[in-house]
């Protein structure tokens, strides 16, 4: 790239972030976080195409800011003007670890746990990664379970250095150690998880597999998201980086980055489509992204994160539309007010139940 072209891009980038820094009070966005995420993505993908990626994420940044401004300007001058009158709690880092002998350990911020091969500081769970643990011939595999309740989320590092973020109301089964010469296999029993898998070349070529309700994902060192809630008809697998092979009975599909597979559990069909992976995985970055989501999908997400019952009585719910992201770490009434002012809906909060009218 020429010096002149690079300078032009840098100038446009400076304009974008000057705009970010000058946002008026009341705009619900973390400017420093957006900058950090922006530059992390640029650096990570710099070798692919500097110019293309820069403008891609610049466009996302502009969309987020302009959307937040539009939604907020005519709603309220600042959050100080809103009266919050509910006791609904925001989701936190918490989980229940079930050990091989059946013992259950509650994990949450402020509580530490130390086991034979695992430790937790209350915000993450980390398994030992000694070379002996992951290469010796184990006579039997010992499995642990990590269960994330409603109103929670958690992060885990497996013995092979694979990293997993688990969303609310999720459960995963995995071995404490992996046996050399065999696939590294875990099972997402239900819920949603984001995987950053340690490459098989670091483990003597041993593959990594994720089993989920009849679906098998074979991984080749990559990042991907699986959403598989039992009450939902579809299992959605979204590939961010690398490549994966999807196997369901006699169906075999290969996914490329920015592709999503949609497995319909009822008619057992698989559809592939291109998606914006930022929208599909923003939950991991403490954001809700409801672009293109139905009212039922939005309320299901809020119900899990805030651990509340939500009843939809709205008649014209098919008219619901929302563009942009909303921060997860705020009172649910802030989110409901945003949705109220962008759609023709009202709400009532009574104890731990919300009614959408």
pLDDT tier, 325 (very low <50, low <70, confident <90, very high otherwise) = confident
- Burial (CB < 10 A; 0-12, 13-18, 19+), residue 133, is middle
In tens, the pLDDT along 106-159 reads 999 999 999 989 999 999 999 998 654 444 565 789 999 999 999 999 999 999
User: Contact 64/327 with Cβ under 8 angstroms?
Assistant: no
User: Do 179 and 160 contact (CB within 8 A), yes or no?
Assistant: no
Mean local confidence (pLDDT), 167-192: 96
pTM of the entire structure? 0.78
pLDDT of residue 82: 64
Q: Which residues contact 160 (CB under 8 A, 6 or more apart)?
A: 129, 134, 178, 184, 198, 202, 203, 208
> In sequence order, what are the beta bridge partners of 289?
325
Helix axes 50-73, 3-21, angle to 10 degrees: 20
- Closest alpha carbon to 33 in 232, 285, 274: 285
Task: Work out the burial of residue 102: count CB atoms within 10 Å of its CB; fewer than 13 is exposed, 13-18 middle, 19 or more buried.
Answer: exposed
| pLDDT tens digits, 190-248 | 999 999 999 988 898 899 999 999 999 999 879 999 999 999 999 999 999 999 999 99
Are the beta carbons of 189 and 325 closer than 8 angstroms?
Answer: no
* Residue entry with tokens 């992060």: 155
């Amino acid at each position: 790239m020429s010096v002149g072209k690079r300078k032009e891009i840098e100038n446009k980038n400076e304009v974008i972030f000057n705009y970010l820094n000058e946002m008026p009070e009341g705009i619900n966005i973390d400017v420093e976080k957006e900058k950090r995420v922006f530059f992390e993505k640029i650096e990570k993908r710099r070798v692919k195409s500097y110019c293309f990626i820069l403008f891609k994420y610049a466009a996302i940044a502009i969309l987020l800011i302009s959307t937040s401004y539009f939604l907020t300007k005519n709603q309220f001058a600042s959050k100080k003007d809103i009266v919050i009158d509910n006791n609904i709690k925001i989701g936190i880092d918490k989980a229940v670890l079930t050990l091989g002998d059946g013992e259950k350990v509650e994990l949450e911020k402020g509580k530490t746990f130390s086991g034979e091969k695992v430790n937790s500081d209350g915000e993450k769970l980390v398994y030992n990664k000694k070379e002996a643990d992951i290469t010796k011939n184990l006579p039997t595999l010992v499995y642990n379970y990590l269960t994330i309740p409603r109103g929670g989320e958690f992060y885990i590092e497996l013995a092979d250095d694979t990293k997993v973020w688990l969303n609310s109301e999720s459960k995963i089964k995995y071995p404490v150690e992996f046996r050399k010469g065999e696939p590294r296999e875990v099972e997402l029993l239900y819920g949603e998880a984001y995987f950053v898998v340690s490459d098989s070349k670091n483990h003597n070529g041993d593959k990594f597999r994720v089993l989920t309700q009849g679906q098998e994902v074979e991984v080749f060192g990559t990042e991907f998201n699986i959403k598989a809630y039992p009450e939902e008809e579809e299992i959605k697998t979204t590939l961010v980086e690398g490549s994966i092979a999807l196997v369901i009975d006699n169906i075999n599909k290969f996914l490329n980055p920015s592709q999503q597979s949609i497995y319909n559990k009822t008619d057992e069909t698989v559809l592939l489509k291109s998606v914006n992976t930022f929208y599909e995985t923003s939950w991991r970055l403490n954001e809700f992204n409801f672009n293109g989501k139905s009212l039922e999908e939005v309320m299901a997400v809020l119900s899990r994160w805030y651990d509340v019952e939500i009843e939809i009585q709205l008649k014209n719910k098919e008219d619901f539309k929302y563009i942009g992201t909303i921060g997860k770490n705020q009172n649910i009434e802030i989110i409901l007010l945003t949705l109220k002012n962008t759609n023709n809906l009202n709400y009532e909060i009574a104890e731990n139940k919300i009614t959408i009218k």
